[in-house]
Amino acid sequence: MTNASSDQTDTIDLGAVIDDEITATDVKTLSALGYETRYRLVRLLVHADGEMSFDEITPYVSISDSAVSHALTLLCDAGLVQKERDGRSRIYSTTRRAETLVEALDRTR
């Protein structure tokens, strides 16, 4: 008699599952969410149903504008937030990855 889980393991390339590049990207993403302010910013943007300007975001967090800017830059670097310029304003929106992660956390709470 064979074990179904061992059959599945035999067909999965376990080396690919822990690929260095994939692991580094995922850890960067999770690290970006691991800080309370950045996580709050992602949740805010996900639940804003679209995009928000920098000036719309700042009233929701009790940190300096420069700290908000830094947090948003880290979130952009981690692939969780996108930034566009609109004249002198910056418009932020979440990526599908951020939306999926927040939805998964909400479902498992």
Which candidate, 109, 90, 106, places its Cα nearest to that of 98? 106
Please give the pLDDT value at position 103. 95
Residue % of the chain over a pLDDT of 90: 73
- Ordered structural domains, the chain, with CATH: 17-107 (1.10.10.10)
Q: Over range 4-17, report the average pLDDT.
A: 70
Question: Which residues lie across from 81 on neighbouring strands?
Answer: 94
Beta-bridge mates of residue 52: 92
Q: What is the average pLDDT score of the chain?
A: 90
The answer to whether 80 and 33 have CB atoms below 8 angstroms apart is yes
d(CA 41, CA 51) in angstroms, rounded, equals 12
pLDDT digits (tens, 9 = 90+) for 54-87: 999 999 999 999 999 999 999 999 999 999 998 9
What is the pLDDT at residue 50?
A: 76
Question: So what's the pLDDT on residue 53?
Answer: 96
pTM for the full model? 0.81
Q: What is the pLDDT of residues 16-45, one digit of tens each?
A: 888 899 899 999 999 999 999 999 999 999
What local confidence, expressed as pLDDT, does residue 82 receive?
A: 97
